Chain A
Amino acid sequence: MKCGVVVFPGSNCDHDCYHILHHVLNQETHWLWHKEEADLGSFDLVILPGGFSYGDYLRAGAIARFSPVMNSIIHFAENGGTVLGICNGFQILLECGLLPGVLMQNQSGKFICKNVFVRVENSDTVFTRDGGEKNVLEIPIAHHQGSYYIDPRSLRRLESNGQIVFRYCDDGGNISAESNPNGSVGAVAGITNAQKNVMGMMPHPERCADPLWSRTDGQIIFRSLIANSRRRG
């Protein structure tokens, strides 16, 4: 699988993504510099990593979306290319309109950094197919603006289209106000676009995907993507 990891000024999970894809999972991985448009035709996956692109000034992701590299990524996504936005990457995907809705400040007003559980709501996407029977994943979050918001009618549309991929839950997969760390509507932790080739998620799968660490649930997402690119040949 040929992967690209975008580097914005202020990205800070770019090396973690590169490490998992290249060193742990042995995939061909390239950096994509924010200032350059790139021909992504030969790529199988582009990751927008977490961090604080452009210092989160104005709104998280608001300035990064106008970077030259984003023109290439929007073109890539519109032609069916697989794009994964993690945390700040999710915020950028919303700002540029590849995904619907917005991420607002956490309801508690606090930056939250901890392990959370998410329930896989749609295991039939290129991002989640390799999960087998496992439908509750433990993945860390680390964000201040992660409270997903969309109007009720659009939320119902996401639900009926199977675009909600992850919801915050407890370790038994139950969804409640207590298991929702940031106040996201519908406990949404990750969604796809209608075509299901673009996904944004607040939890950080790259922070729990190295077998040297105690938790590796994040590997499911990367392995699903690798298996998918093999299937496509």
Chain B
Amino acid sequence: MRATFSRVAAVARAIKSVLNCAGFCGKVGGMLARIHVTLREGVLDPQGKTVHHALNDLGYDEVRGVTIGKYLEIKLDSASKEEAEIRVREMCKQLLANTVIESFRFTLVPTD
């Protein structure tokens, strides 16, 4: 039984090392993408406008504009920061932002 287990473990280690070598530019690691999606310049933002007025009403006369957007954190596995950047950009364009009215920006931080 123990022998079987160690054979299985050895095979698993071998597979893992092959995957890492062929590993499309290195070891797969954790990454955190912090994504902001906001309305593009010039697109009317009723929520932002309402909050802007509310702040002015509270006496914050220095407030010149408010933009409200979305903030997303995505945990992902990626072989490299470059690859993660390409994938996250794709995610933003395909689903997370409607680029007709929204723009997006993000940062990537390795997590382990």
Task: With CB as the reference atom, state the residue of chain A lying closest to B94.
Answer: A66
Contact with A along B80-107 (1 / 0, CB 8 A): 0000000000000001101011000000
CB neighbours (8 Å) of B47 from chain A are: 105, 109
Chain A proximity of B46: nearest CB distance (Å): 4
B43 within 8 A of A: yes
Chain B: residues with CB nearer than 8 A to chain A? Answer: 43-44, 46-47, 50, 70, 95-96, 98, 100-101
Interface size on A, as a range, is 10 to 19
Interface of chain A, helix or strand or loop or mixed? Answer: loop
A101 within 8 A of B: yes
Q: Cα distance A108–B50 when bound, in Å?
A: 9
Q: Are A62 and B98 in contact (CB under 8 A)?
A: yes
A59 within 8 A of B: yes
CB neighbours (8 Å) of A102 from chain B are: 98, 100-101
Q: Cα distance A1–B100 when bound, in Å?
A: 36
Question: Could you pull out 25 A-B pairs where Cβ atoms are within 8 angstroms?
Answer: A58-B70, A58-B95, A58-B96, A62-B98, A63-B95, A66-B95, A95-B98, A101-B100, A102-B98, A102-B101, A104-B44, A104-B101, A105-B46, A105-B47, A107-B46, A108-B46, A109-B46, A109-B47, A109-B50, A147-B44, A149-B43, A149-B44, A149-B100, A149-B101, A183-B44
